[in-house]
Amino acid sequence: MANTPSAKKATRKIAARTAVNKTRRSRVRTFIRKVE
């Protein structure tokens, strides 16, 4: 578990980024599938 405020902020940032990446990647995959 993150103890320092900066570490907590970092984990929050990483979580948000991974969520964005996941949605983007799935969208790209579906787009490619449609094109093919």
pLDDT tens-digit readout, 10-27: 999 999 999 999 999 999
User: Distance between CA 27 and CA 21 in Å, rounded?
Assistant: 10
Q: If you count them, how many residues does the chain have?
A: 36
Distance in angstroms (rounded) separating the CA atoms of residues 12 and 22: 15
Where are the chain's structural domains? 1-36
pLDDT confidence of residue 6: 94
How many angstroms separate the Cα of 14 from the Cα of each of 4, 10, 33?
Answer: 15, 6, 28
Residue % of the chain over a pLDDT of 70: 100
